[in-house]
């Protein structure tokens, strides 16, 4: 009998399913790790966004100065004596001769009139207060006439308004009226002369010394440069400018008188004062008004020490050398563009390579002549992070030696935009 042995294969037991608590723990661990990783990535990405953007920087590209191009004008200066020319509000046109103190004759009466008008101001056409010729002043007239002085006739008790007295001083160059005005203002001629010298010092006229209000005394000396300084200042007084531009005037006692300055009314000349003595020669302080580019421009000058045997010759000489100076100065002055619309004035660099330019929005033009230096000033406020194209921001100004600034606004060429969030993150990767 055969014995059979039966072999039975027993399957391994099935694994136990994980408990719900264990599964939850794994997922919490994985989720926490992912959250930490995402938070870390977010911190890395956001960190650069928390840093403030640097402000845009401005770099000036326009030079600090320029020179009006062309050949500098050559002035027809007198061959003797000394002279000076200036264009108020622009610059000096130069000088000739040694600027040393010399007698100036009746050009001294410019200071006399200036002191009177600063102490007793007049508007245009205003007569002002009256003054009366004293008996002593009238009695001095015959002796003054015998000395050959330039005078107007006066009598005791004659009354002159301030304007009439100034007309007598500035047109027919009356020495006696200069002294009468001096005593009327300061109480004595000596006290008035002290005021003249104080005024000269206050104006910076370092080469000037007055010893009398008429200029007859050769001790009254000045330079052409100083007289230009005074003439410019005096012409700012409306009554002074009005009187010296007159060809004639009607005065008490004297009647109609003429202006000794024969250039008035020619070549734009509007004054100022002649002077002539043996010691001074022919002298003239002058002003002319010309139109340049639709603007009224004043030229002021002085010529001293022109030779001649007597007053008519001396004055003729000074007139002859002054007219070419006035004409040459008028021809030299022009309007010159020193910055043109669209000219780049500065560049602006923003963060991450952003950039634009600041350009002149209009032309900038100055009065002047070839060779005249012009200062160029640029003012740009802090540039914002965003600046649209064409937006005005800042200005450029041009200034001659003593002129007022002429300005134009600046405008952005292209738009300046701040970098995007993605650009900022990518920059710091």
Tell me which residues are annotated as active site. 106, 109, 173
Is residue 256 annotated as involved in ligand binding? no
The span from the CA of 292 to the CA of 331, in Å, is: 9
Dist CA 122 CA 163 (whole Å): 8
Closest of 376, 372, 392, 387 to residue 340, by C-alpha? 376
Token digits of residue 316? 């003729």
Nearest CA to 132 out of 156, 109, 150 is that of: 156
- Answer yes or no: are the C-beta atoms of 208 and 101 closer than 8 Å: yes
- With CA atoms as reference, report the closest residue to 169 among 155, 149, 187: 149
Instruction: Give burial (CB, 10 Å; 0-12/13-18/19+) of 276.
Output: buried
DSSP character at residue 69 = -
DSSP 295: E
DSSP 8-state class, residue 353 = G
**CA separation (Å) from 374 to 53, 69, 204?**
38, 11, 25
Cβ atoms of 190 and 158 within 8 Å: the answer is no
Q: How many Å apart are CA 180 and CA 138, to the nearest integer?
A: 10
Which three-class secondary structure state does DSSP give residue 156? coil
With beta carbons less than 8 A apart as the criterion, state whether 392 and 383 touch.
no
The tokens of 201 are what? 């010092």
3-state SS, residue 102: strand
Query: Which residues does the annotation place in the binding site for substrate?
Result: 273
Query: Which residues does the annotation place in the binding site?
Result: 273
């Amino acid at each position: 009998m055969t014995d059979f042995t039966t072999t039975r294969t027993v399957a391994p037991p099935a694994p136990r399913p994980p408990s719900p608590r264990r599964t939850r723990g794994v997922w919490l661990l994985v989720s926490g790790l992912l959250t930490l990783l995402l938070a870390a990535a977010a911190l890395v990405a956001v960190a650069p966004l928390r840093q403030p953007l640097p402000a845009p920087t401005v770099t000036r590209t326009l030079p600090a100065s320029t020179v009006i191009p062309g050949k500098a004008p050559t002035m027809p200066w007198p061959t003797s004596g000394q002279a000076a020319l200036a264009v108020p509000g622009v610059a000096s046109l130069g000088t000739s001769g040694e600027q040393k103190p010399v007698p100036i004759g009746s050009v001294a009466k410019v200071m006399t009139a200036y002191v009177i008008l600063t102490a007793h101001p007049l508007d245009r056409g205003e007569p002002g207060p009256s003054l009366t010729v004293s008996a002593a002043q009238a009695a001095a007239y015959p002796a003054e006439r015998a000395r050959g002085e330039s005078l107007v006739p006066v009598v005791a008790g004659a009354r002159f308004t301030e304007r009439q007295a100034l007309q007598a001083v500035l047109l027919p160059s009356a020495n006696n009226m200069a002294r009468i005005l001096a005593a009327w203002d300061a109480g004595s001629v000596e006290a008035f002369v002290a005021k003249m010298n104080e005024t000269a010092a206050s104006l910076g006229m370092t080469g000037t010394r007055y010893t009398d209000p008429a200029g007859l005394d050769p001790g009254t000396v000045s330079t052409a440069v100083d007289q230009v300084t005074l003439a410019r200042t005096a012409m700012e007084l409306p009554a002074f400018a009005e009187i010296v531009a007159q060809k004639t005037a009607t005065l008490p006692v004297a009647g109609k008188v003429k202006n000794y300055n024969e250039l008035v009314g020619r070549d734009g000349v509007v004054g100022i004062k002649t002077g002539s003595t043996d010691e001074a020669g022919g002298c003239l302080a002058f002003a002319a008004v010309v139109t340049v580019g639709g603007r009224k421009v004043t030229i002021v000058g002085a010529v001293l020490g022109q030779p001649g045997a007597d007053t008519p010759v001396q004055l003729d000489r000074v007139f002859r050398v002054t007219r070419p100076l006035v004409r040459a100065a008028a021809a030299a002055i022009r309007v010159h563009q020193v910055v043109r619309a669209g000219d780049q004035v500065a560049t602006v660099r923003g963060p991450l390579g952003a950039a634009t330019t600041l350009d002149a929005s209009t032309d900038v033009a100055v009065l002047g002549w070839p060779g005249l230096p012009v200062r160029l000033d640029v003012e740009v406020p802090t540039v914002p992070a965003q600046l649209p194209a064409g937006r005005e921001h800042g200005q450029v100004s041009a200034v001659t030696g003593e002129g007022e600034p002429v300005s134009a606004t600046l405008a952005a060429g292209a738009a300046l935009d701040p970098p995007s969030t993605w650009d900022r993150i990518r920059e710091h990767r």
